[in-house]
Structures are given as C-alpha cells and as structure tokens.
Amino acid sequence: HRHHMRSEQEELFNSNSIIKFGMKDVEKRRDKICNEISESSLSGFASVSGNMISKLLEPNYNNEETHSFDINEIKIVLSRMGDNMSQYDKNRILSQIELDSSLSGQNPYLIYFLDQLLSVYKKQEKYDIAIKQFVKTCNKYLFDKEFTYDESTVSLKLDRTKNGKIELTQLSSGEKQIVSIFSQLYLEPDKKYIVLFDEPELSLSIYWQEKLLPDMIDTGQCIFMLAV
C-alpha cells in the first residue's frame, strides 16, 4: 500500500501539468511558442506561393477591393519571410506603402500577395498577443530589468534596463515565481487552468501581493482559483 501511494505521488510530481518554478521550464515554454510562430510562418508562406500561382493563372485578374495596409504589420510579415525574399524587394514594397497605404494603381497581384501574407500573420496573432501580455505583466514586477519581444525576429529576451542581458537564473526567488506562473498562464495559450494556491504571499512584497491574484485572473486562462 505504501509503495502504491509513493508511486502515485511520484507520478503526480513528475506531471507536466503542475506549475514548476524552474527556469528551464520557462525557457521551454518561450522556445515552444516562438517556434510555433516561426514554423507556422514558413508553412503559411508555402501556402501563399500556391495561392499566388492559382491567381496568376486566372485570366485578366483585377483586384478591385479597397485596401489600407498598416506599414508596421507589413514590416513584421516581410521580416518573418527571412531570406525567402530579398531585402531590396522588401524595401521597395515598404517604400510604396509609405507613399500610398492603399497601393492604388499598383499591380493587383502585389496587393493580393500582401493580403495573403497578412492572413498568415493574423493566424499567429493569438500567440503574438499572448507573448506581449506576458511581457507587459511580468515587467510590472521586475525591478531594473525587463522582458522585450521583437515581433519581426520572433524573439523574447530578458535584459537589465542599463547593463544588458541577464539570465533567468539570476532573478530573485520572488521574480522566478512570478515569471514561472505567468509563463504557464500566457505562453501556453491553448490551455486553461484551475489554480490552487497555498500562501501566495510568501516571497512577495505588499505591492506584489495586491497585484498577483488579480493579474492571474486577468490572464483569462485561470477558470477557477482557490488561494489559502
């Protein structure tokens, strides 16, 4: 009976579903969500190529829809194409949008191509939003250091505000706890959680105690919370 109980406990604490405070887990979540965006970009660009061929085969294709391209979004999707398009061509497109965001009078195939790229970007939007929210929330708790997210290169970094890069392992125990919790809630956006939290005030300042539980609820990922 004791052996059975012990094996059950070992299985419980080996489970990936339990919130862990190791920074390796945070790194894995960060890499997983960034890779998800990068891989879906590549597969999305492949489908764009196929759609372009179909459109080029249409006789007398003319796109008469009105557009207004957001240059910041176009910069991101073009950056995510990497070497699949030359920097010269990327700059030409951006220059034309700067002159006329609707690209009126331009080749309709170019407009269709950009529309297709933006549809790829929109499919990744929930992951981009999740990372941005993770950054915004964690930065409220960090002193003299901050997370930054570069959408163009799909990279999430932690830096000192003055002295450059800092490792996750160099955070204080309270900061590690905060970062671990919000990495679980934000960087795995396809999951929902029931949170049972014993003594959430441990290692936390008064300011953090006031913010933490509301911020966890505000993630939208916590469907039930019990705090002791």
Residues 6+ apart with CB under 8 A from 66: 102
C-alpha distance across the termini of the chain, in Å: 30
203/174 Cα distance (integer angstroms): 5
Q: What is the reported pLDDT for 163?
A: 80
**pTM, rounded to two decimals:** 0.82
Q: DSSP letters along 115-174, please?
A: HHHHHHHHHTHHHHHHHHHHHHHHHTT-SSEEEEEETTTTEEEEEETTTEE--GGGS-HH
162/129 Cα distance (integer angstroms): 26
Q: What is the reported pLDDT for 198?
A: 87
Q: What is the reported pLDDT for 120?
A: 92
Q: What is the pLDDT along the chain (228 residues), one digit of tens a residue?
A: 544 444 444 444 444 445 545 899 999 999 999 999 999 988 888 889 888 888 888 877 777 777 789 999 999 999 988 888 899 999 999 999 999 998 887 888 889 999 999 999 999 999 999 999 999 999 999 989 999 999 999 999 999 988 888 999 999 888 998 999 999 999 998 899 999 988 877 767 888 888 999 999 999 999 999 988
Burial of 228 (0-12, 13-18, 19+ CB in 10 A): exposed
223/79 Cα distance (integer angstroms): 36
Q: What is the reported pLDDT for 114?
A: 93
Q: What is the reported pLDDT for 21?
A: 57
